[in-house]
Structure 1
């Protein structure tokens, strides 16, 4: 059905309920009721639903309150669009029972003791309608002997706008007759076949819960929303809502309420996921066609031993924010039949700057990325974890850890009596071993006969502490850039992990193990080196052992971007006077880590006929930027001095150094959240994880 409100400009709808509601067009929800054909939710120019608390009539643009049912919608059509309402009733076999004649004030038909009253807008009312399952050609009623089906709608505030008065005896007990002879009304029958209709006091319906003579009750729609949010926020399976303990808890709060079915909850989650994913997916795909971006791949498995791949999309925003954003795009079951090409069918993979992966040994994913000429970068938190695992695999370290575990086991009851939590080891999280050694060497006072073991544990902790400091430095960034890895690692390897004469065999082995791994994974990576070179904060702090290869890669990328101007670019002739940024705030984590004291060097006037190598040489000689300055802003303001590099810099600015931001959380929380994800099963894994991770994020 075409949208009658879809226009190029912004439209303003004024109503009694919401006078400042502005929308461009309407979103037609996929509802079963025929009344929804003429109503929709207001949306903005980005096709995002503004609110679901109100619905708008597509015929007259009237704004109505959404009570979670079709009572308002039907009443509006019945009294404002009578022809259309009559057509709906005829086409769908809906027969509205005739309303009782309402007595006017002063009318003789009122009778003794009967008074006409004005309608109280807070008074509740039940409306009912009969649907004919079999109709004759005239659609005038049901066949003889047929039992009409009663549709009792939820009690909501009355919405009929032309009801001036209402009969006090309008609410009665309704009995559904099994003989098919229609409806009978009774006033004093209380057998089990009678459904009692109760008018609720307004004070009980103003909030999510209300009380009736039947006991505690709750608004079913609010309960559904609460359960959906519980599934999403807690990353749990829908069937856990129906565990005995959970059911008792809900009924303790809400009374003897009937829980919505699991199918209903699943349908709501799918609908919410579809709405958000459609908006996000369209904008992500459009971004991939025009601007550089990077991808993140996390491979994991669940309790059913099924492997899954979560895919992240990384991109940079435009001025004035210049932020790097990290967003979960989808999660798919990952096996030999998974078609990665289909996932990125509508993406322009030529604009993909790199793929950050959390799983080093997956050949299938590597083959796909290499076939698309996408560089592969191992997530830095995974690199650090690998360093720790290699250290804890050393024979001397294994022996020390075994002795530590034995001592803690021997004195476990005594330690626990001191109200101290003993760290628990988890093989998948090597930082738990570090915390155990730190606990053993620093928290507990041991007998003198274990002093050597305490000292050895302390040596391991002190040597590994540099990796903890490195991660703490990255945690100081909202989203750490890949340009940070090469300079940080260079300082670690050259200063903190350099061997000295005072190092014993254990310390030397640990330093050599970590240094070798960081050299191979980080410092030797050409793309991480380029990312650091094109970050004006770090190009002087990076150890460059492969400059020739870096220039070759940059030249190749530049030639692809400028097919007609191979190797050269026109430079502006304006003279730029560069003033280093000054900051009166305290030093950032990066400033503390590098402890920079150098003075800035002046920037020269741009020269003509420059190429990648010449631009890079001048850039490395002339540029000095404080560590707290934004590289995005610097390239936007001063990058034209090094024109060829300015075109290449955005490619490497959209690359975070980790797949996601989970590494920022405490280790115990990481284990807990991984366990919750591990327990996910069924067909809603993608929807639950997507909604959980994108709960507050918006694609701009």
Structure 2
């Protein structure tokens, strides 16, 4: 009969193995001890693989029994390694020496340790509950395991090793865990998850990890401060910026607004940089004053002057934020991806015919993935059609591209859908409801062909050519279009026309396109007035930058002694006068217009860097407009799978972790630090 008695176990800082414990099975066990290595409880031992606490019966039988029951593969490898290097046979002299050592140890109150684990700092590791057990009479095992014991461990060490450098191991493990949580947007709760800890234990390497509380209270704030200071240093060396503002919904605390900064560094090959500055809850910017104070303080903290911000790319309809941006004189450019998401959600996916198709597809996929036979049939037929590289997955409504991809992949599998439905084991009536009619397949085809997807994060210069292509080509009604396709194209056309119709936005888009050497001809051939506007901007930029060194030297150079010929003809010769700003602007624009268009696959930032000597002032103006992206999202978040994963993970974070985690997720793995 098993008797249990509950009591509080003393706190321990280490797991130690006395030197007298020579059995190979002690490799995965330890006695709880204090920070000086003194063993606290000699009747309980802890398995370092799974943290199970078992009673110690002064032999290794129960150690081996636990390994047999819970870690059989590890035990097998351990015992195989035992036979590879058998210990030398003991000689009589060695036996006598051993006895002397045992006697000397008895006189010493403190056991010498074979190896132990250290935990620096304030450690609160303890076993909250343990049981005093009596072995059952019918049990063949000399030990009874204690299962399901709850532990609250601030530092957990796996796989004791006498050659372990604790300081180095602790630093590496802590850094790896920090990077894991930040890069993968994991909740800190995972540090105390039993499954995660056992995963680390299965890696069979020394690992010291912080607890959830220690990570939140110490590690995260320290890393946050370090990277914030590094970002301030990077921003201080830049002078051209654009703001990114994204409003998004959380699963727990309502809506947030994330503010980011876009800028160019000294290496144009690196492209446009995006760094998150802060994420605030919408309740903190609920009126104009609080919104103004919050944004102004944020920009002041990072040393960003408002006059150096060219525009704000927005994924929000918050009237207070938009009013603030307007009062500050910023041009507000709608985010391209958010605009498409909103348009397709309100125009396309809200149509009853399309909504019914999407719901039906989600239902069908849910039934297929619950049925192993249907899932296997789908995989086999995907291989036959050579479609196994792109899986048919359900969508995530917040990311329109996932819905588009779901319908596109369904369309590719039109010939096999009926066969897969047959493997579901459904009744004839249910099969009829799940099957797609010819009319429904036609709707799927219309939606896929009308809403062609793009997975790129472009500069704002691409927006105008992209809209022109959609409005003047893709969305033109043809004789082959079905009635549904005509309705869909008409609605999308009208919706697209109004998004970038504001005059200031329209002007900014045109100038950006002209100053993109890949796309300049698309605007210059249609709108000659934009050249005049650019010249005015160029003259204004010259006034801010100042005259070039050549012009300055002309005004201060010493007058040389005139020759006889110069004295004779100086009144009739043309004097070498410095060019005016207007003349310089005309020359640079004429040369730029006559240049052949750059390669579409090239980078406009690199092109301007290489042409800076030829166009000294136009280059400065071009960099100003090329510091504006078309979206609030970075390139790495645009692919559909990553976009969906990011939205789902971000929405889980509680209020106190949102700002530091999102800041570090954007700025952690960069060359700023």
Q: Same fold (TM over 0.5)?
A: yes
SS in 2 for 1:310: strand
- 1:542 matched to 2:529: no
Corresponding residue number in structure 1 for 2:232:
281
Deviates more, 1:496-505 or 1:531-540: 496-505
CA distance in 2: counterparts of 1:571 and 1:392, whole angstroms: 62
- 1:356 matched to 2:337: no
What CA deviation, in whole Å up to 9, does each residue of 1:129-155 have, x standing for no partner? 9xxxxxxxxxxxxxxxxxxxxxxxxxx
Whether the aligned pair in 2 keeps the contact of 1:358 and 1:378 (CA below 8 Å) is: yes
CA distance in 1: counterparts of 2:439 and 2:194, whole angstroms: 53
Corresponding residue number in structure 1 for 2:464:
486
Residues matched between the structures, number:
465
Which has the larger share of helix?
2
Could you say if the C-alpha distance between residues 237 and 570 of structure 1 is closer, same or farther in structure 2, counting changes exceeding 3 Å?
same
Whether the aligned pair in 2 keeps the contact of 1:482 and 1:657 (CA below 8 Å) is: yes
Whether the aligned pair in 2 keeps the contact of 1:400 and 1:453 (CA below 8 Å) is: yes
Corresponding residue number in structure 1 for 2:261:
313
1:457 offset after TM fit, Å?
1.4
CA distance in 2: counterparts of 1:503 and 1:258, whole angstroms: 64
Whether the aligned pair in 2 keeps the contact of 1:485 and 1:522 (CA below 8 Å) is: no
SS in 1 for 2:437: helix
CA distance in 1: counterparts of 2:398 and 2:189, whole angstroms: 28
Could you say if the C-alpha distance between residues 520 and 607 of structure 1 is closer, same or farther in structure 2, counting changes exceeding 3 Å?
farther
TM-score in terms of structure 1 length: 0.57
Whether the aligned pair in 2 keeps the contact of 1:554 and 1:648 (CA below 8 Å) is: no
SS in 2 for 1:501: coil
SS in 1 for 2:496: helix
Whether the aligned pair in 2 keeps the contact of 1:615 and 1:642 (CA below 8 Å) is: no
TM-score in terms of structure 2 length: 0.59
Corresponding residue number in structure 1 for 2:299:
344
What CA deviation, in whole Å up to 9, does each residue of 1:40-65 have, x standing for no partner? xxxxxxxxxxxxxxxxxxxxxxxxxx
Could you say if the C-alpha distance between residues 431 and 638 of structure 1 is closer, same or farther in structure 2, counting changes exceeding 3 Å?
closer
Structure 1: 5+ residue stretches without partners: 1-125, 130-172, 174-185, 574-605
Could you say if the C-alpha distance between residues 611 and 366 of structure 1 is closer, same or farther in structure 2, counting changes exceeding 3 Å?
farther
CA distance in 1: counterparts of 2:509 and 2:553, whole angstroms: 29
Could you say if the C-alpha distance between residues 644 and 518 of structure 1 is closer, same or farther in structure 2, counting changes exceeding 3 Å?
farther
Structure 2: 5+ residue stretches without partners: 1-33, 38-100, 118-156, 380-390, 419-434, 555-577
1:454 alignment partner, one of 438, 441, 444 = 441
Q: Which has the higher contact order (CA 8 A, sep 6+)?
A: 2
Corresponding residue number in structure 1 for 2:194:
244
1:456 offset after TM fit, Å?
2.5
SS in 2 for 1:562: helix
Corresponding residue number in structure 2 for 1:433:
403
CA distance in 2: counterparts of 1:408 and 1:322, whole angstroms: 41
Corresponding residue number in structure 1 for 2:8:
none
Whether the aligned pair in 1 keeps the contact of 2:365 and 2:394 (CA below 8 Å) is: no
RMSD of the alignment, in Å? 4.5
1:352 offset after TM fit, Å?
0.9
CA distance in 1: counterparts of 2:281 and 2:517, whole angstroms: 41
What CA deviation, in whole Å up to 9, does each residue of 1:623-677 have, x standing for no partner? 3222244433443454666665344212112112222226755423322222221
SS in 1 for 2:310: strand
1:512 alignment partner, one of 478, 485, 490 = 490
Q: How does 1:215-226 map to 2 (within 5 A)?
A: 219-226=169-176
What CA deviation, in whole Å up to 9, does each residue of 1:565-609 have, x standing for no partner? 99xx98999xxxxxxxxxxxxxxxxxxxxxxxxxxxxxxxx9866
Whether the aligned pair in 2 keeps the contact of 1:309 and 1:331 (CA below 8 Å) is: yes
Corresponding residue number in structure 2 for 1:270:
221
2:161 alignment partner, one of 196, 211, 219 = 211
Could you say if the C-alpha distance between residues 416 and 233 of structure 1 is closer, same or farther in structure 2, counting changes exceeding 3 Å?
same
Whether the aligned pair in 1 keeps the contact of 2:392 and 2:410 (CA below 8 Å) is: no
